[in-house]
Amino acid sequence: MVSLMEATADRSCLHSVQMILPKDETRAKVKAICNQNLRIGKVVDAYQQTLRDFEVALWELHDPSAWSIAQLKNPKRLSIRLDHYHTRFPGIERQFWESSPRSTVWNNLASTPEKTALGCLRSLYLERAGITDYQLATALKSNPMLTELRFRKCLTLTDRTFKFFAESNVGRHIETLCLIKSYRDELNDGLFEHTAKLTNLEV
């Protein structure tokens, strides 16, 4: 595990954590993924009140981990990478890394009338996340101060996501919007129609 923690001057308040959960060739894939998620849950639960920046790279996200992330009280920057060269190893088939199947795990990040999820986000980066347009919209609708959105190999997203940004409060302050390896010609071709309406977009 590689971690970086930044605290206040009196060391009483944690603000930032980065985690790259390493490959484990001695474990079966399922056991390794469970172990990765257990580590994530422990860190997030321990610093739920004060965590501001959280970046994690692992093989697959499980419901308890996603739920813990959604309970963060004041997150500014969130990065969930399900594909990272530090966590790959030959024991897992290549197709695993080249796909991002739909998953109900992302429902845990949704805001509801009873619960606001991630309401203070400024930056979001998702990699190989099988999140749908609807799941992303429900996760971000309570985050009107977003300025940076990056998606890499999120193959389930369509042009509906970018239409949502253009027509909702979520897109009002977006300055950076990055989409890499979508593999969807219809999305790539129609993207500019929606991004043209993002008046603060710089990149």
- Nearest CA to 3 out of 64, 34, 62, 47 is that of 47
Secondary structure (DSSP) of 35-77: HHHHHHHHHHHHTTTT--EEEEE-S---HHHHHHHHT-SS-SE
> What is the pLDDT tens value at each position of the chain, 203 positions in all?
334 444 444 444 545 555 555 555 556 777 777 888 888 888 888 888 888 888 888 888 899 999 999 988 888 999 998 875 555 565 666 666 666 778 899 999 887 777 777 878 999 999 988 899 999 999 998 888 899 999 988 888 888 898 899 888 888 889 998 888 766 665 656 677 777 788 778 76
Q: What is the pTM of this model?
A: 0.81
Give the burial class of 93: count Cβ atoms within 10 A of its Cβ; 0-12 exposed, 13-18 middle, 19 or more buried. exposed
